[in-house]
């Protein structure tokens, strides 16, 4: 789960990472109030879960109330790369001497954590990293040993940060690393990390991606759930515990396992069809999951045909079959179903379904054959 900047900053504060105090505003009036609380000059920042908002005009300074009104009006409701701005984060403007870059993420290749630090932070960091490989210092951290203050200090020195920033940045990196590990983050990124005119090191931004798998030990994450940016189909699916991604086509797809689901998308596309979604019912799905998946797909008005592609392993085909039967009794399906069922308990599953088969519910033994049938039915339905 990606956090908004203001949520990321709240998360940083838990770990003692220096951030500016500020407030959130969903309306121009609230923006005026928040600006008065934090004190002028203020900076108004669009809250979107996507990079590049500064270049898109989503970050503006204001030194008085008129400017807050003007800038808040222009940023609220703005569309930044397909993300609508619903909220502003307003904080007291920081006097910046230097902009650095710092992040911690997983180095999958080396099976360790990795710190990245650069003296050349700011909105062009990707270009900087691309043009000069030495501009970003990378430090692999053994997760069993963690990050020592000495290592952090050495990294700050190697990155050629200003002398007065070295010690503070070393402490900053240690706190950031603790936030990343103890806070179960996939990524923490601070761009820019600034040195202020009074020589304080400070996080001016916060990009935090939480590891969804760790949610079971972080009750505090519940407050971060905000669905407003998402496709309504994705919200409905998430509420039912399904792994769904909306797409633009008209073939509804249900499969078990992310790999098979992706492969089903590929095969349908190759057969000349256009997938309406990616839906993985996950491992060990039961009848309820299957019924819920069919309901989600059925609620998508674009869907003309539903392709259910199941290869049972931990998922048992008899459970899948029961789910389909249950869904058929629970909801009136708007589209025909093409089913391919194989693997664990496949024969039991096929037996359960036998009496329910019709011209609107057919089974095809192979994945490619099923994809061809799906495309044929889609064309008939158009």
Partner 1 sequence: MAIFVDENTKVVVQGLTGSQGRFHGLRNRAYGTKVVAGVTPHKGGQDVEGIPVFDTMDDAVAQTGATASFVSVPPSAAPEAILAAAAAGVKFIVCITEGIPAHDELIVYNTLKSNWPECRLIGPNCPGIISPGRCNIGITSGDIALAGGPAGIVSRSGTLTYQALNELSTKGIGQTTCVGIGGDPIPGTSFIDCLAAFEADTETKAVLLIGEIGGNEEEKAAQYIAEVMTKPVVAYIAGVTAPPGKKMGHAGAIVSGTAGTAQAKMASLSSAGVKVATNPSQAGDIMAEIVSAF
Interface residue list for partner 1 (CB under 8 A):
106, 108-109, 111-113, 142-144, 181, 184, 186, 211-214, 216-217, 243, 245, 247, 255-263, 265-267, 269-270, 275, 278, 280, 282-284, 311-314, 342-344, 346, 366-368
Q: How far is CA 61 from the centre of its chain?
A: 28
- Specify the residue, 218 or 356, whose C-beta has the smaller distance to partner 1: 218
- Specify the residue, 10 or 263, whose C-beta has the smaller distance to partner 1: 263
Write down the catalytic residue from 6, 11, 100, 101.
101
Q: Looking at the DSSP assignment, which residues form a beta bridge with residue 92?
A: 42
Q: Looking at the DSSP assignment, which residues form a beta bridge with residue 278?
A: 245
In the annotation, is 189 catalytic? yes
Judge contact between 268 and 278, C-beta under 8 A.
no
From the CB of 334, what's the least distance to partner 1, in Å? 24
177 CB-near residues (< 8 Å, 6+ apart): 104, 113, 115, 141, 146, 147, 152
Judge contact between 331 and 295, C-beta under 8 A.
yes
Write down the catalytic residue from 5, 91, 99, 189.
189
Judge contact between 100 and 121, C-beta under 8 A.
yes
Q: Name the nearest CA neighbour of 206 among 3, 1, 56.
A: 3
From the CB of 105, what's the least distance to partner 1, in Å? 10
DSSP string across 22-50 = EEEESSHHHHHHHHHHH-SSEEEEE--SS
The string over 272-298, giving b where at least 16 C-beta atoms fall within 10 Å of a residue's C-beta and e elsewhere, is ebbbbbbbbbbeebebebbbbbbbbbb
- Specify the residue, 135 or 251, whose C-beta has the smaller distance to partner 1: 251
- Specify the residue, 47 or 256, whose C-beta has the smaller distance to partner 1: 256
CA distance 290 to 86: 34
From the CB of 110, what's the least distance to partner 1, in Å? 10
* Torsion angle in degrees (nearest 10) through CA of 47, 52, 56, 62: 50
Element (H, E) at 192: strand 185-196
From the CB of 153, what's the least distance to partner 1, in Å? 24
In the annotation, is 40 catalytic? no
Q: Which conformational region is residue 93 in: left (phi greater than 0), alpha (psi within -120 to 50 degrees), or beta?
A: beta
- Which pairs from 134-137 meet CB under 8 Å and 24+ separation? 136/101
- Specify the residue, 98 or 316, whose C-beta has the smaller distance to partner 1: 316
Q: Tell me 205's DSSP state.
A: -
- Specify the residue, 216 or 219, whose C-beta has the smaller distance to partner 1: 216
From the CB of 144, what's the least distance to partner 1, in Å? 5
- Specify the residue, 27 or 366, whose C-beta has the smaller distance to partner 1: 366
From the CB of 115, what's the least distance to partner 1, in Å? 14
From the CB of 366, what's the least distance to partner 1, in Å? 7
Write out the catalytic residue numbers: 101, 189
């Amino acid at each position: 789960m990606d956090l908004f900047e203001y949520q990321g900053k709240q998360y940083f504060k838990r770990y003692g990472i220096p951030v500016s105090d500020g407030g959130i505003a969903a309306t121009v009036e609230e923006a005026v109030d928040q600006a008065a609380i934090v004190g002028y000059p203020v900076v108004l920042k669009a809250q979107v879960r996507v990079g590049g908002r500064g270049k898109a005009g989503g970050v503006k300074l204001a030194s008085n109330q008129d400017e807050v009104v003007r800038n808040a009006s222009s940023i609220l409701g703005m569309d930044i790369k397909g993300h609508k701005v619903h909220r502003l984060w307003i904080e007291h403007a920081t006097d910046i001497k230097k902009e650095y870059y710092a992040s911690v993420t997983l180095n999958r290749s080396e099976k360790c954590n990795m710190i990245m630090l650069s003296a050349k932070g700011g909105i062009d960091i990707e270009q900087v990293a691309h043009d000069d490989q030495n501009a970003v210092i990378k430090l692999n951290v053994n997760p069993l040993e963690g990050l020592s203050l000495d290592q952090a200090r050495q990294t700050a020195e190697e990155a050629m940060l200003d002398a007065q920033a070295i010690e503070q940045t070393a402490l900053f990196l240690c706190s950031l690393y603790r936030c990343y590990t103890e806070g179960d983050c996939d990524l923490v990124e601070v761009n820019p990390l600034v040195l202020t005119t009074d020589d304080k090191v400070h996080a001016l931004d916060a990009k935090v991606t939480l590891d969804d798998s760790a949610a079971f030990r972080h009750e505090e994450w519940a407050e971060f759930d905000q669905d407003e940016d998402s496709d309504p189909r994705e919200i409905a699916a998430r509420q039912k515990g399904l792994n769904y991604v909306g797409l633009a086509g008209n073939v509804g797809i249900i499969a078990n396992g992310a790999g098979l689901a992706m492969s089903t998308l590929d095969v349908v596309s190759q057969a000349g069809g256009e997938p309406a979604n990616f839906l993985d019912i996950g491992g060990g799905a039961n009848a309820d999951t299957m019924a819920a998946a069919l309901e989600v797909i059925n609620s998508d008005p674009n869907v003309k045909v539903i392709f259910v592609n199941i290869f049972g392993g931990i998922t048992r085909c008899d459970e899948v079959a029961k789910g389909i039967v249950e869904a058929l009794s629970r909801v009136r399906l708007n589209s025909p179903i093409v089913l391919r069922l194989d693997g664990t308990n496949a024969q039991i599953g096929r037996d359960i379904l036998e009496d329910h088969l019709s011209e609107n519910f057919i089974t095809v033994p192979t994945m490619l054959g099923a994809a061809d049938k799906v495309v044929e039915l889609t064309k008939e339905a158009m």
